[in-house]
Chain A
Amino acid sequence: MKLDTSGLESFSTLTAPGDDVVGEFSAPPSFQLPNSNDFDGFVKEAIQMVKPAKGTTTLAFIFKDGVIVAADSRASMGGYIYSVKKIIEINPYMLGTMAGGAADCQFWHRNLGIKCRLHELANKRRISVTGASKLLANILYSYRGMGLSVGTMIAGWDETGPSLYYVDSEGGRLKGTRFSVGSGSPYAYGVLDNGYRYDLSVEEAVELGRRAIYHATFRDGASGGVVSVYHVGPEGWKKWTGDDVGDLHYQYYPVVPSTVEQEMVEATGA
């Protein structure tokens, strides 16, 4: 499969002065490979370094009023814990979620946003979510086996209504109505599947997304931080909540002072 290096194209090569032979093309764009004796080992190590990075919980689901996209914010590197924005705004009516390598997700989502805008300018109409997800899937497929780590969902509202696609760096692309990605996804699926109905109201759907992420962060050590929930409607996306999971825990399960069953008293006498 030919590598799709369009994301790395520098436009200066197109305007470079031509050589003496008309019709000779300048060298195709490429990136430098690292100087190492054992390139395969290097790639393996790179993949292993990024592997734990899919420590996250993201989810998205379609319902009658659009798409809900929710994610935690924990990113960990070794012993450090950060908070990262995991819902990426590709354009005003499409969102992408981040799971895997943060740099990979951010770069390729930004690149996708550029391609979508170029499509709009060239075709005088917005790109569909199907098209956008296929663009991303094809790019990721051409880099298969090279250590990219991306597990993303593309959610948006286009002419056909709300759409949701799951795209990953192994080249898979699935169209669906409910997805959850990341190390905490099995936990989130449980709460999500159980509480899901197509005819939820927007408030109920936002609450379902928030609850599902909260439960995943409770059980999964690699997820936590702040739950962000976005809603994509016909007019575009809107951020609804950004709650810390610690606060959510005491909101859902407030501390109830328990009655003392047995009280210890001082022993009287010897």
Chain B
Amino acid sequence: MRLTLRALISHGRVARKMGLGPESRINMLRNLLTGLVRHERIETTTARADEVRFYAEKLVDYAKRGDTDEKAMKMASFWLTEKDLVPKLFNVLAPRFETHSKGYTRMARLPNRDNLDRAKMAVLEYKGNPFPPLYPVKKDNELTLINQLLRGYREDRAQQLATKA
């Protein structure tokens, strides 16, 4: 190829480089994906989590085809290094996301890693996992004075509407 300046400037190049090369990148993503399928929630650097996300969703799309499908089984056995997770993928994760068309994963930022590198961390999870939610829902206390007064008001209005109708 021509040894132009274009090869050195990376404007607009969206594909990430990870590890020692493309094969190393795929191996790293494979390990991350296996961990994700086993534990359903993992913590890594933001870039790796972002990369794995695409493959995680594609894997679930393949799993939805069913384990009788040749291609789906090949994909699953390639991407999952621990073979006891292949039945989990087809029997647990695929039925869970039957009604969803896309968006099987959720990513949230974490505080930077405590090491010297201060790397940007993220947590990646499959939706519907058994752990407590990443963004806890804060419910207003129903028993405070103002909420009790409002409850009485709402009941009163409902009663009035019922008698009017």
State whether these chains interact. Answer: no
Interface residues of B (CB under 8 A from A): none
